[in-house]
Each structure stands twice: as structure tokens, then as C-alpha cells.
Amino acid sequence: MTIDAPAAGPGGPWPVAALDLGGTKIAGALVEADGTLLRPVRRPTPRLGTAEQIAAAVTEVLELLAGDPRWPDAAAVGIGSAGPVDRERGTVSPVNIPAWRDYPLAEHVRRVTGRPVTLAGDGVAVAAAEHWLGAAAGFDNALCIVVSTGVGGGLVLGGRLHLGRTGNAGHIGHISVDQLGPRCPCGGRGCVELYTSGTSIARWYREQGGAERDAAAIGVAARHGEPLAVAAYDRAARALAAGIAATATLVEIEVAVIGGGVAQSGEVLMEPLRRHLGEYAALPFAADVRVLPAKLGTEAGLVGAAALVAGPAPTPLPGQATDAAGAPTEVRGATLAEALQVE
Ligand SMILES: [Zn+2]
């Protein structure tokens, strides 16, 4: 079905409709100018379903959003999707959703909603959220990392979200930190994700003779000083530190923000991360990179998906009107999306 196109007339660029599409859930919300989520909804992703079944679940989330009284004001849709994505072609090929390869998600959402769509990888969306309202706010150069089932991320460079050519820039999980390491499902070798993801922590712990536990439970054991659990987190932190150091050396980030379920383990991850970072980020311009926990929780994907469309642009485009505070005015989705994409 097609949801009614937005009503003409005033209303400004907010709220924005946001979608966060991952291997386990499809979340949606209308997002207000201050990042508040109106009517957040979620449905499980029929991850192993056909392309049509997965698309139908997306449609269902959009229809739930369209039931909100504010829906007519939402002039655009921002999507953060498990990647890889291709923002120019509007397609997604999430590693964990086999039936979607080069699936035209942007076109599907555009057709269902009658609204313009901006698409980027979920790590990029989280970076947009943390830069807007979270731990990366106020930093012009930041790497935001999500450590959960996998490891993703996004970059802020020169005060702007850096999407990259296809919308996947900052995907630190697939930087190689061991050139002769094991094969990664991405096709590479020795990727950060093979050491740092929750799945990898649990697998290594089990292979070393530990019990069948998930990364959160291993984190609790590490906090209580169990040597194997401490070692599992140390190994995860070391690989992540090497990836952060490479990024800091390459583009001079000031801060690395760490979020996601595994980061909930807190100092169990952060302490060895800071320690190992000292070992890998050796040059003075990289050595002072700060590591901070993310401020936003599971809502970061939706907040960031909205930010992809509607702001905040840290600097106006040439010739663009600004308010007293220097923020761009007269901004609607496409224009501000362009601003975010400029790097
Ligand atoms: Zn990989």
C-alpha cells in the first residue's frame, strides 16, 4: 500500500521519520528537533525470509508510524541500515540478511511513504547521533564505534559527518589488524570484528575451555576477576585499539566514542582499550586520542537516521541563510543532507 504523501504547507523539517534496520529488528520513529522519539515502534526482522517478506516488515513499521498524528508533518525519511549499503543507488546488502543483496530499500520506502529518503550505514547513523547529541558533540574529528554482535562505526571529520562514497565510511570492524589472521565473512583477513564483536568474544572464550556464555556474561565474570574472561576482553580491546590507532594516525581523530551492547561491560572493555591504545597510537598526533563511552543507547540508530536527513549541519552551505546562532535556516531534508555529505 501507499501511505498518503505529506501535506503541503508550513511545518518545517521536523519531525523526521527514521528507520533503523538491523539483523534482529526493524525500528522506526518520528524524531523531533531535539532528538525526542515520537512513537518508537519495532518489529523483528524476518532475517531468513524472502526479500518480499523483509520488505513487508519494513512496510508494516512505516504504516505504524503513519498512524501518528504528526506523520503528515514528516517530510522526509532517514534510514540507517546494516551494511554494506550504497547510498547513491539506494541499495542495501546487509551481511546478516541473506535475501537482501543490492535490495532497493530507498526506492521501497520512497514508494510506500511518498517521501524523499536518505540512506546510510547504521554505524554512520550512530556517529551522526553521537555527534549531534552524544559523547562526540563538540568534537570536529571523531570515530564512533558500535561493538555488539558485529563491530561498526562512523566518522566525523572537519566537523561534518563523513559518509564516504557509498555511505559506509568508518566501518572499523573490517579494518585488518592481523594480516595473516583468519578469514572474515567480509572476504578479508584478521578484521577487528573477528576479535572484538560479542560473537567473537564468546567464541574465543569457549574455544579456550570456557563455558558457553554470551559476551555480557563473560563481561560480568571479567569484572569478578576470572582470568579467562579478563583475557577475552583484553584480546577484544587490543584489536579495537589497533583499529582506533590506525584511524587516529590516518585522519587525526580527537576522540573515539564506544557504544553498543558489548561496551555496556564498561571498564572491563575500556581499561584494556586505553592501555593498548597507548601501545599502538604512538606518534604524538595520534597518541592523545581520547576514548569515551557513548552517551546514547539503543535509540542512537533512530536519532542518527533522522540527523542524516535533517541536521544538525555544523556549518551552513555557501550562501545559505543562518539564524543568530549561526545555524542554517530554511533547511529542508535534501539541502541539509547535502550539507552533511560534504566532506
Ligand atoms: Zn571483515
155: its cell numbers: 566518522
Kindly write down the DSSP assignment for every residue of 138-159, as one continuous string: T-SSEEEEEESSSEEEEEEETT
Tell how far the Cα of 184 is from the centroid of ligand 1, in angstroms: 5
Tell how far the Cα of 188 is from the centroid of ligand 1, in angstroms: 5
Residue 83 backbone phi and psi in degrees, to 5 = -110, 180
Count CB atoms within 10 A of the CB of residue 257.
30
Count CB atoms within 10 A of the CB of residue 180.
7
pLDDT tens for the chain, 343 residues long, are: 455 444 333 334 789 999 999 988 999 999 999 999 998 999 999 999 999 999 999 999 999 999 999 999 999 999 999 989 999 999 999 988 999 999 999 999 999 999 999 999 999 999 999 999 999 999 999 999 999 988 999 999 999 999 999 989 999 999 999 999 999 988 999 999 999 999 999 999 999 999 999 999 999 999 999 999 999 999 999 999 999 999 999 999 999 999 999 999 999 999 999 999 999 999 999 999 999 999 999 899 999 999 998 754 433 333 434 444 444 443 333 333 333 433 3
In the sheet that 117-121 helps form, which strands lie side by side, from edge to edge?
A: 37-44, 25-31, 16-21, 77-81, 117-121
Tell how far the Cα of 320 is from the centroid of ligand 1, in angstroms: 41
Side-chain-side CA neighbours of residue 84 (13 Å): 15
- CATH superfamily for 135-293 is ATPase, nucleotide binding domain (3.30.420.40)
Tell how far the Cα of 67 is from the centroid of ligand 1, in angstroms: 40
Which pLDDT does position 322 carry in this prediction? 46
Q: How far apart are CA 91 and CA 97, in angstroms?
A: 13
Which pLDDT does position 218 carry in this prediction? 98
3-state SS, residue 339: helix
Q: Which residues share a beta bridge with 118?
A: 78
The single residue listed with the C-alpha cell 526506492 is 107
CA nearest 3: which of 99, 112, 134, 136?
112
Tell how far the Cα of 83 is from the centroid of ligand 1, in angstroms: 12
Ion ligand 1 — residues with CB under 5 Å? 174, 184, 186, 188, 191
Which pLDDT does position 96 carry in this prediction? 83
Residue spans of the domains in the chain: they are 16-122, 135-293
Query: b/e string for 282-297 if b means 16 or more Cβ within 10 A?
Result: eeeebeebebbebebe
CATH number of 16-122: 3.30.420.40
